[in-house]
Amino acid sequence: MSALPIFPGTVDASGRPATLGVMGGGQLGRMFVHAAQRLGYFTAVLDPDPQSPAGLVSHHHIPFGYTDKQGLAQLAGMCAAVTTEFENVPASALQTLAESLPVAPGAAAVAIAQDRIQEKSHFTASAAESGVMAGVSCAPYAVIETPDQLQAVPADLLPGILKTARMGYDGKGQMRVNNAAELAAAWAELEGVACVLEKLLPLKAECSVIVARGWDGRIVSFPPQRNVHVDGILAVTEVYEGNMPSALAARAQAATETIANHIGYVGVLCVEFFLIDDGSEHGALVVNEMAPRPHNSGHYTMDACDVSQFDLQVHAMAGLPLPAPRQHSKAIMLNLLGDVWFDAQGEARTPDWQAVLALPGAHLHLYGKTDARPGRKMGHLTITGADVAGVKAVARQAAAILSLPGFEAA
C-alpha cells in the first residue's frame, strides 16, 4: 500500500515517478490528468477506447476494460493512488485496486451512487443522524423491484418519475408517469428492472454543491451552483452571490458535507438538489442524487476560482492539504453539446469560435472529441467577470452565437 501523502515530483525506490491513475478516459478524466500533470505527477488512464480524451493526453494509457485483470494489474503496478472519473466504473474493480494502493473514492461510496435505492437510504440515514439536514429530504418515493411492490405503490406518489435504480444519468432510464396504468406500462417497458418511483414535485430551480474530503476528514466546499437542465442534460450553471436564497445555499452546503461525512468519503463529491415550491417565500430543498467525482456543474471552477474541483481531486487522493477554494469571479458556464456543430436544418457546421473568443471573459474548453453528435458533451464555455450583469450579458451573446438552449438569465 502506498504511503500518504504522495508528493508530486518524487520517485520510488525503482526510480519510477509518482504516478496517479484514473479509471475512465472521458473529459472528466482529461481535466483530472491536466490538473495532476500541472503539479508534476505522471498519470495513467485505464479505458478501453484507444481514442479516449484522457488517454490521449496521459503519460500512460492502458486500453483494457474496467474489470480486466491484466489492465487492473498494470494500473496498480504503475500508480501510487487511483481515482475514478465516472460513477459506473464497477465497484468491484475499485475494491480490487484498493487491495494494493489508495483508491479515492472507495468502492463502497461508488456502489451507493450506482444504485438509487442505496443512495436514498444513505440520504435518509444522513438526515436522521444530523440536525444539519433538517428540512432537507428526499422526494417521497417507493422502491419497485417486484410486481407486489408495483401494486402497493401509494396513490399519492402519482404523478411521478420512474427511474431505474442503476445505470441512469443525464436523464437516461427515466419515465414520467401520471397514473397507475402508465406506471405499470413504464415498468414493463423498462423490462421490470429495479426502479424507484419519485413523486413529481413543483420544481422552482435546481442546484448542486461540490465538496472535497480528505483522508483525515478535512472537508472544503465550493459555493452552491444554480443549474438549468434541458432534456435531462445540464445546459447552464450560474455561480455568484445571490444566485439562490442565502439560507437555502447554506443549507445545501451543510447537507452535502453531512452526506460526505456519513460514509467517510474521500475525494470530490457532488450532490444535486431540487428547489421546490412548498408555499414558503424561498421554497424548500430536496436532495436528488450524488456523483462520486467532479461534476459538469463544477467546470467553472477552472476559470473562476483559485483552485478547481480537479485540483482538489488530486489533492484529496494524494493526501495533500485541501485548501479552501475561493471564487474570484462571477461565473456562468454553458455546456456545449454536439448539437452546436449542426445548423437548424441538421447540416454539419463549424461553430463561430471567432465570435465566441472575441467576447470578454470567455473561456472555451473543448474535450478533444472529433465526432460531434447531438447530445454528446463536446466542451463547455465559461464566462467570468467582476459583476453579475456583465457576465449575464456576455453569456446571452454567447448563447445567441451558438444557438444554445436553456439560457434564460436576465
State the distance between the two ends of the chain, measured CA to CA, in whole angstroms.
Answer: 53
pLDDT at res. 352: 97
Residues of the chain within CATH 3.30.470.20 domain(s) are 203-402
Residues of the chain within CATH 3.40.50.20 domain(s) are 19-103
pLDDT at res. 12: 79
Strand 136-137 and strand 284-291: the pairing is: parallel
Cell of 61: 494509457
DSSP state of 87: T
pLDDT at res. 410: 40
pLDDT at res. 128: 76
Q: What residues are designated binding site for ATP?
A: 116, 163, 168-174, 198-201, 206, 229, 288-289
Residues of the chain within CATH 3.30.1490.20 domain(s) are 140-199
Among residues 332, 304, 329, which one has the least CA distance to residue 406? 332
User: Domain 140-199, what fold?
Assistant: Dna Ligase; domain 1 (3.30.1490)
| 261-303 pLDDT, tens digit each | 999 999 999 999 999 999 898 889 999 999 999 999 999 999 9
| 174-226 pLDDT, tens digit each | 999 999 999 999 999 999 999 999 999 999 999 999 999 999 999 999 999 99
User: Domain 203-402, what fold?
Assistant: D-amino Acid Aminotransferase; Chain A, domain 1 (3.30.470)
Q: What residues are designated binding site?
A: 116, 163, 168-174, 198-201, 206, 229, 288-289
Q: Up-side HSE of residue 307: CA atoms within 13 Å toward CB?
A: 22
Q: Give the relative orientation of helices 27-38 and 309-318 as an angle to the nearest 10 degrees.
A: 70
Taking the complete model, does pTM exceed 0.85, yes or no?
A: yes
User: Domain 19-103, what fold?
Assistant: Rossmann fold (3.40.50)
pLDDT beneath 70: ranges in the chain: 1-2, 130-132, 134-135, 168-171, 406-410
pLDDT at res. 167: 77
Q: Got the DSSP string for 270-295?
A: EEEEEEE--SSSS-EEEEEEEESS--
Positive or negative torsion for Cα 320, 322, 323, 329: positive
